[in-house]
Chain A
């Protein structure tokens, strides 16, 4: 009885009150860019970490709820990053931050990508203050990957690549 009445009430209401709906402004939990990268993460995957042209950055800790693995593939001749991929254990913002990072490093030199700042990633994804550490982790992952590949190349080429490694540390 009651159910029937309330159904009719609802039916009636949709017809009559559609024009006078109250405007509600709700706080957003995730920016659409975060949701986009979470739903369609770019460059998920792994490269062979023993490849001398691949740099691997593994940052974060399981106990903190975030672990990021970001890998870059360097073109031997030009030194540019030709490909990048990631795997992340973490919240949606951490996944989105690493997904964005892989997009941004492609086509750039290792020096250039070291200038990518966490603030830019945070801004792109409109991360709230509690999620800023996700973007910092992404920046750390880029730096760790560059450091790794440069150390590998230095080992292979002897003294030739040493200055590059110093630049990475600086």
Chain B
């Protein structure tokens, strides 16, 4: 409806008053000044066109079907779902509850167990700190893993400062936890075991069903209670105060419903792209190592180390492919990723890692182009690498006494 109106407005271009109403939208859609017909220049880098996107674990494009479901709640049904006195509020509340049911259906939970938050960082703060604060009289111990997301690790560190005890469970070299080891660590006063299902960096899938603990939703039987981290109007059953943003929640519901319908198909398709990417690269170059288990891995993730090539320079040469580096060099800390270190990846190999993320809209052509560009760049940098030269000469670089800086 809204888009129809827009289209009519723009094709007819009259009456002028309506054009002016949309002038802000037109300004937003202006190509930014770093783009011109000859290419894109940004941060001192010139690229011939928009890079192909393989960083789906950072963020991903919205499915147009999801966006379609959201738009009415931006443009015409914009009520506050907590408004009780008029239709705008009621219809927004309905939409939020429908979305809640859609999310619950996807993970096999009851809608009453779903709490909408701003994202993973907030959810994890509520779960980790909220649970432990609520049960602080009886439970003083938390178990988590060394490869957990920063928001969990930092919440745990916060608890430590408050006097709680935290066990950071090491992982095996494939990135998975040892369940026997976990069993041994559980004590009578352990209040929480926090293990992420899919690692954001290396994509390994932990054996969640065997731990039997739900993380993203709040189980009601037996009831888990938490202390709220946000105080305010008492929305989301008092656990997460703050107005629920209807369009975003509606979009999440729509995305969950789509996932339920298409997950199997997507997984098959993305798996074939993952194979295509890995095999394509391995056909052309040696010394390519997959970080994390290949058997228990989310299919959209491929974290690779390229021996004898430093990750940041590889990324610099891969400006036409948007990917992430496993080492945090770009964030100025010059440290290889803590996740890779927990896996026991050699420090020099941790410096060479790149994370490829494949999504629903990634095409075979994009994967092939990524293979071509990656191989080309790795070959170029290896020709320039003293380590590669030494290995070719038969020198064991692990035996050399390097002067550490």
Contacts from A to B (Cβ < 8 Å): 1-6, 8-10, 12-14, 16-18, 21-24, 26-32, 34-35, 38, 41, 44, 46, 58-69, 87-92, 94-95, 130, 133, 137
Contact = CB atoms under 8 A, between A and B. Distances in A.
A29 B3 CA distance: 39
Contact of A38 (B4, B26, B317, B327): B317
B4 A1 contact: yes
A16 B20 CA distance: 12
Contact of B402 (A2, A3, A46, A63): A63
B7 A8 contact: yes
A66 to B, nearest CB: 7
Contacts of A28: 43-44
Contact of B334 (A24, A44, A65): A65
Nearest to A23: B33
Interface of B: 3-4, 6-7, 10-11, 25-27, 29-34, 42-45, 64, 67-68, 71, 308-310, 312-313, 316-317, 327, 329, 332, 334, 336, 346-348, 351, 383-389, 397, 402-405
B360 to A, nearest CB: 16
A2 B403 contact: no
Given A46-B389, A63-B402, 7 more contacts: A1-B4, A9-B10, A10-B31, A22-B33, A62-B387, A63-B346, A69-B386
Contacts of B334: 64-65, 130
B64 A41 contact: no
Contacts of B405: 60-61, 64, 66, 133, 137
Contacts of B385: 67, 87-89
A22 B387 CA distance: 47
Contacts of A14: 30-31
25 contacts: A1-B3, A2-B67, A3-B64, A9-B10, A22-B33, A26-B42, A26-B43, A27-B43, A29-B43, A30-B43, A30-B45, A46-B389, A61-B403, A61-B405, A63-B404, A66-B405, A87-B385, A87-B389, A88-B385, A89-B309, A89-B310, A91-B312, A92-B312, A95-B313, A133-B405
B384 A41 contact: yes
A88 to B, nearest CB: 6
Contacts of A69: 386, 389
B26 A91 contact: no
A56 to B, nearest CB: 10
Q: What 6 A-B pairs are tightest by C-beta distance, nearest first?
A: A62-B348, A61-B402, A63-B347, A69-B386, A91-B312, A87-B386
Contact of A90 (B4, B34, B313): B313
Contact of B351 (A8, A32, A62): A62
B353 to A, nearest CB: 11
Contacts of B11: 8
A138 to B, nearest CB: 13
A49 B379 CA distance: 23
A121 to B, nearest CB: 16
Given A29-B45, A95-B313, A5 B10 contact: yes
A88 B3 contact: no
B54 to A, nearest CB: 20
A58 B386 contact: yes
Contacts of A65: 310, 312, 327, 329, 334, 336, 348, 351
B348 A9 contact: no
Given A21-B30, A65-B336, A65-B351, A38 B43 contact: no
Given A29-B43, A63-B347, A67-B387, A2 B3 contact: yes
